[in-house]
Amino acid sequence: MSTALTAAMIIGWTVVISVYGILVGLFLLGIDRKLAAHMQARIGPPLRQPFRDVRKLLIKESVIPANAIPWMFNLAPIMALASSLVILLYLPAGSVMPPLGSYGDLILVMYLLTVPALALVAGGFASGSPYATVGAQREMVTMIAYEFPLAIVVVAVAWRLGAAGLAEPFTLTTIASNPIWSVVGPLGILGILLLLFISAAITPAELSRIPFDTQEAETELAGGLLVEYSGRNLAMFYLSQGVKSLVMGALVVAIFFPWNISTFVAMPATVALPVDLLFFLAKVILVLFFSVTLVRVAMARFRISQVIPVYWTYLSVIGLVGLLLLMADTVIPLAGVGA
């Protein structure tokens, strides 16, 4: 295949996945708001409300504060949205393998996840507002806090797949094609359950949701990082949050729940593709329900002084125990299971 054709295919996939990421991301935000409202005995907004919000913001003027750094203030929301969409190019969706899956692995995805957060930080500092500056500082602290447990999850899963003899264990294609549960014994399953818990605890922090939304904290900082944003710039940050919700759900699904219905039930390829895609979206909704919606309804916001101990002490220790259990699983295979 020629280089020009390859580039054209990647550009085409980029357009398709961008549209898909934005539409599904907004739909996931609507699902989250609807489910949270029902758990609080409210009717809640309709599922299409996020689409209405974005349309309303896009037709409004973007106001730039007098103390802001204009070029950075305007560039930050573009960076946040673009980087969130780029991550989708590396993540499988159902039986559709990622177009850039052979050009990057889980380590690259882990670092790409920091770009939207850094864009938020840059936008906060560029706002020239004391509320946004405090929010940007809190965003950096939170990001530093959850990176270590996230790295433990990534390394532990890839290491176990590598120990099972699989080539290129860090690539998401390998991880999605070889469910981690199928290569471990009882000790390994315990370890994976702990790593799954860590992933669920990292998700709300990645999405700046309760109990880790100290950087926005409306009651303290009046919106924090985004307090000075309006119009199209705020719409792009909102779209970025929707796309990143899909990214986090897809990442957890790819690592821990990569199965497709077409694997177990024989069906024509034209039917298998949409069925697997719908099954994938159902898994993403379930992951986000348990890791984001349920948590933000049931818990209060942590103070910023509590965020680092939660991640560096409690969750890191739990993650290391999970890693040790996976290592023990390779040394002490029980009942003849595990590699």
Q: How many CA atoms, within 13 angstroms, populate the side-chain half-sphere of residue 319?
A: 24
The predicted pLDDT at position 319 comes to 92
What does R_g of the chain's alpha carbons equal in angstroms?
A: 20
Query: Which residues does 216 contact at the CB level (< 8 Å), separation at least 6?
Result: 135, 208, 223, 224, 225, 226
pLDDT at residue 339, as a whole number:
44
Cβ pair 177, 258 in contact under 8 A: yes
pLDDT confidence band for 338 (50 / 70 / 90): very low
pLDDT band at 5 (very low <50, low <70, confident <90, very high): confident
Specify the pLDDT at position 26. 95
* pLDDT tens-digit readout, 157-180: 999 888 888 888 888 888 888 888
Given a contact cutoff of 8 angstroms between Cβ atoms, the answer to whether 70 and 62 are in contact is no
Which sign, positive or negative, has the C-alpha torsion 57, 61, 62, 66? negative
Q: How far apart are CA 325 and CA 198, in angstroms?
A: 14
Contacts of 150 (CB under 8 A, 6+ apart): 110, 113, 198, 199, 202
- Angle subtended at Cα 147 by Cα 144 and Cα 152, rounded to the nearest 5 degrees: 145
Predicted confidence at residue 77, as pLDDT, reads 92
Model pLDDT for residues 95-131, shown as the tens digit of each residue: 888 887 777 788 899 889 999 989 988 988 888 888 8
- CA separation for the pair 329, 333 (Å, rounded): 5
Identity of the highest mean pLDDT range in 102-116, 148-162, 206-220? 148-162
CA 13, distance to chain mean position in Å, is 20
State the pLDDT at residue 223: 65
